[in-house]
Chains A and B, each alone.
Chain A
Amino acid sequence: MNMENQVKESPLEKAKRLKAEKESKDQAKIEAESSAKAEKLGALNSQKQGLENQLDEINSKIEASRGEAHETRDTMQEAGLNKDEEFKGEYNSTISEVAGNLNELRNERNRIKAELEQINSNIENFEVNEAISEGKEATQEAVETVNQENEQAITQVENYPGAEAGDIKASQEIVSEINQEVNQVVKNSENNVKEVSGEKKEEKKEKTFDFDDIAKEITSDVAHLLNEEDKRLKIVKENILKMPKASKGDYEKIFAEEAVKFERRLYTVNNLLAKLEYPINRLAYQGKYDQDRDKNLKRQEELVNYINNIANTSPASQKETEIFNILREKIAKASDKETAGEKKEKTFEEVRQEVAVEVGNLVNAERNKLSDAELRVRNFQGGKEEYEKLRHDIYGIQWDARYLVDIDEKLEPLKIIATQSGKLKEFDKMHQDQTISDYKNFNKVAGELIEDLDKKMSKTS
């Protein structure tokens, strides 16, 4: 624009030119900010990709290492090294070595997962974090301006003609008061921002594992169980004492039933206590609370001792001992003549056949569930909800196969008759039955399915 044109520019033209200049400047600023944000987000995504690659790599290493560990163990076990005194030491040290290698890799995987989780959280909360960062920067700039102006204000008073020491002191007090007010404003804003941005963390906190909560729940459940059992045993004891013409067989039957109920109660208590085992290990697996794992396992052990102590000294336990003593006495006194009439009941073999069918049906049902889970894992496309549900279902199958609670329930009638007829050895053989052995193997298969599912989830998330 030459001088002649500048002179000719009307006020309206000038206004339009200035407006355009301002808009162009604002637009450039917005674009620069947007570009900087995109660059930051790109860097985070690139970090995420890098960690995902590392995770794939470590998963492959773990897979290979686990295969090798199994092969190593199987090779030595096939040769019977684990049972041979001469080789037992070397067997144990080799097993420790492969287990150590595997654990190192798993720890590394946990570290990568934790880092990945942090990056994912940063990506998820990117806009929020940016808003906080920008807000903090703007507030900080304003505070610095206030500080500079405060110094200028005091200097202005100091240099003002006629200013005395009292005036300078008054200005310093004003500035000090101002600083306090500004600091309070900044503090309040930071607290409010923390409250807003902290919401997500609080949601997560609710979902994470709390040892004390679960321990309290278990203690309460065990107390309830013992209380109910105490009420039941009171009635059982009264009934035994009231039985007018009971035979030796009647007493033996009650004895066997109570023995089975006693064992079942132990199972229930153990199952309740095992509620802690899964979350402790699961969190360690996810890389969370890893540092607390040993501490939590120690606390779990203490809780197990505490609960067992309660269970063994409870009124229910005392009543049980009394009942067994009464029954032993009654059985000893009852005449053998009376027992002759009891032989109309089913034989051990008849009950064994019935129980075998029921066990077979149960194992088939579980096998179907496992096949269904395998199919779901194969078709798994990602998604947190399906992942959690599927993992829960598979874990349920694994749990059943590991603790055999349902199987033991099915075997219960056989155990009663085995106790009555002195065939406990034959009964124990049921546990070596092929169907039940197959069922126990579901534990391992389910464990592998969970690992496959986790791998798929890591790749899709």
Chain B
Amino acid sequence: MLKNQVNSNENKVNLINDIYNQALNDIEKIKKERDKKIKNVLKEIDKKHVAKALRDIKNSK
């Protein structure tokens, strides 16, 4: 249990800071994951876009 590790206000403050820092790090990781997924969506759009352009060129010949 977390509470068993706490002996004084100083320990509490350190522990609380650790908890919030960990939360901020986790949020950063989630953001990076989101950016990666959005980039993949954009890449897919590009791929589809290029494929369509190639198809259009082929059809026009």
Q: Which of B10, B23, B33 sits near A188, CB closer than 8 Å?
A: B23
Q: Which of B15, B22, B33, B34 sits near A150, CB closer than 8 Å?
A: B34
Task: Please count how many residues in chain A sit with their CB below 8 Å of the partner chain's CB atoms.
Answer: 44
Binds B, one of A39-47, A152-160, A292-300, A443-451: A152-160
Q: Which of A138, A143, A174, A196 sits near B3, CB closer than 8 Å?
A: A196
Is A142 within 8 A of B24, CB to CB?
Answer: yes
Binds B, one of A99-107, A163-171, A308-316: A163-171
Q: Which residues of B contact A138 (CB under 8 A)?
A: 20, 24
Q: Which residues of A contact B23 (CB under 8 A)?
A: 135, 139, 142, 185-186, 188-189
Task: Please count how many residues in chain B sit with their CB below 8 Å of the partner chain's CB atoms.
Answer: 34
Is B46 within 8 A of A162, CB to CB?
Answer: yes
Is A128 within 8 A of B22, CB to CB?
Answer: no
| Closest beta carbon of chain A to B26's beta carbon, Å | 5
Q: For the complex, is B30 an interface residue (Cβ under 8 Å from A)?
A: yes
| Closest beta carbon of chain A to B21's beta carbon, Å | 8
Q: Which residues of A contact B49 (CB under 8 A)?
A: 161-162
Name which residue of chain A comes closest to B23, CB basis. Answer: A189
Name which residue of chain A comes closest to B53, CB basis. Answer: A162
Q: Bound state CA distance, A175 and B34, in angstroms? A: 7
Q: Is the interface of B mostly helix, strand, loop or mixed?
A: helix
Is B41 within 8 A of A197, CB to CB?
Answer: no
Q: Bound state CA distance, A455 and B19, in angstroms? A: 42
Given contacts A160-B42, A178-B34, are A195 and B24 in contact (CB under 8 A)?
no
Q: Which residues of A contact B44 (CB under 8 A)?
A: 167
Name which residue of chain A comes closest to B37, CB basis. Answer: A174
Is A146 within 8 A of B19, CB to CB?
Answer: no
Q: Which of B15-61 contact A (CB under 8 A)?
A: 15-17, 19-20, 22-24, 26-28, 30-31, 33-35, 37-38, 41-42, 44-46, 48-49, 52
Known: A142-B28, A153-B38. 6 other contacts (CB 8 A): A156-B38, A157-B38, A162-B49, A174-B37, A193-B19, A193-B20
Q: Which residues of A contact B (CB under 8 A)?
A: 124-125, 127-128, 131-132, 134-136, 138-139, 142-143, 146, 149-150, 153, 156-157, 160-164, 167, 170-171, 174-175, 178, 181-182, 185-186, 188-189, 192-193, 195-199, 202
Can you give 24 contacting A-B residue pairs, CB < 8 Å?
A: A125-B9, A127-B13, A131-B17, A135-B17, A135-B23, A138-B20, A142-B23, A153-B34, A157-B41, A162-B45, A162-B46, A162-B52, A170-B41, A178-B34, A181-B30, A182-B30, A185-B26, A189-B19, A195-B2, A196-B3, A196-B12, A196-B15, A196-B16, A199-B12
